[in-house]
Homo-oligomer: A and B are copies of this chain.
Amino acid sequence: MVAAGPSDVAVVGGGPIGLAVAWRCAARGMRVTLYDAAPGSGASDVAAGMLAPVAETYFGERVLTGLLVSSAARWPDFAAELAGYTGLDLGYRTEGTLTVALTPDDLAEAERLWTYQRDLGLPVTPLRPAELRDREPLLATRLRGGALAPGDHQVDPRRLVAALRVAVERAGVTVLARPVRDLAELDATATVVAAGCGTAALTGLPVRPVKGQILRLRAPGGAAPGFRHVIQGHADGRHVYLVPRTDGEVVVGATVEERADLDVTAGAVLDLLRAATDVIPELAEYELVEARSGLRPGTPDNAPLLGPLPDRPDVVVAAGHFRHGIVLTPLTADLVADLLATGTPDPALAALSPARFGTTTPARFGTTTPAGGRPAPDDGLTR
């Protein structure tokens, strides 16, 4: 489908954020064009899909925690609507997340977090080792303790992207499989930059790549994994999460590395496998089917950049979602679509302004090499 004339909205980036923004805008009657040379090939292709406002809540990130809780609350309806609209299965599962601690030191570290999370009013219930194994018999017998976050769900990001691609096409979005090097190329009333790590080069904003390595295992013989909860492990000082899918896959993640290469390293694979099998020993028998790395779009305060550029109110940024792109997809899409439809920013956007880190790296437009941004690394990721 080719749009007749200029679009109301140009969306740069075909990851879950860009696709969901485009879907929501099209549903409100806007003419939308989405640009991505390879939709869904960026960070989401490597993401685990934990929808975990509790398990992802850390000290000193209250603004982010509020966003995670708010967006996670939208996930049940969002998933039902998207699945109903497309007829596709998203791999959305609501068994909840078990956090487990292997050693006394791990338990002490985890208990500090659980206390903080409960003080914020988040639903997290400490469990004794026997209670953990009642819920998941495959957990290692030497676990010291754990906690259940019943509202921390999961979705399969690859299925999510596949469904969103169907949804945007059905909603009339024009999808152009080409990269955008400069926002001046675009012919639209408003532009949404949802380009992940590529946002830096397009806008000059401080979005940096944070490398993550993950593994995909597969249960033997085509069976479903022998556990149902998402498991977040504190294992001898290492952090690991294990996300079981009904199709037999288990995602094991993830490293957090301040580097921009995409190498899969022996040390990362070793650490992930060691922590995973420390938590669920039976995983040693699972097939290792994939070892991958990706680049998360990080920001100075780990919260996303959401809202108009200070000097370009027609350019709305929806980027910098770091480790939280999947859980923040529904909220981000709603906030951006509301802003474009009404012209009035939601109060929640005040703390997320792309301008909050100052103007030392101003956005530049109309140049083929943005002077304010870091060069886009040649890493094959979507931008």
Show the binding face of A for B, using Cβ within 8 Å.
Answer: 215, 217, 220, 263-267, 269-270, 273-274, 276-277, 283-289, 291
Contacts and interface: CB of A to CB of B under 8 A. Distances in A.
Contacts of A277: 266-267, 270
Chain B CB within 10 Å — which of A273, A277, A286 has the most?
A273
Contacts of A269: 269, 273, 288
21 contacts: A217-B266, A263-B287, A265-B284, A265-B287, A266-B273, A266-B277, A266-B283, A266-B285, A266-B286, A266-B288, A267-B277, A267-B283, A267-B284, A269-B269, A269-B273, A270-B270, A270-B277, A270-B284, A273-B273, A274-B274, A291-B291
Contact of A288 (B217, B265, B274, B289): B265
Nearest to A289: B264
Contacts of A287: 263-266
Copies in the complex: 2
Nearest to A281: B267
A277 B268 CA distance: 12
A267 B285 contact: yes
Contacts of A286: 265-266
Contacts of A270: 270, 273-274, 277, 284
A288 B214 CA distance: 13
Contacts of A263: 220, 287
A217 B277 CA distance: 22
A266 B276 contact: yes
A258 to B, nearest CB: 15
Contact of A264 (B220, B266, B274, B288): B288
Contacts of A264: 287-289
Nearest to A250: B266
A208 B270 CA distance: 31
Contacts of A220: 263
Given A264-B289, A266-B285, A273-B273, 8 more contacts: A264-B288, A265-B284, A265-B285, A266-B276, A266-B284, A266-B286, A270-B273, A291-B291
Contacts of A273: 266, 269-270, 273
Closest 5 CB pairs of A and B: A267-B284, A270-B273, A263-B287, A266-B288, A264-B288
Nearest to A286: B266
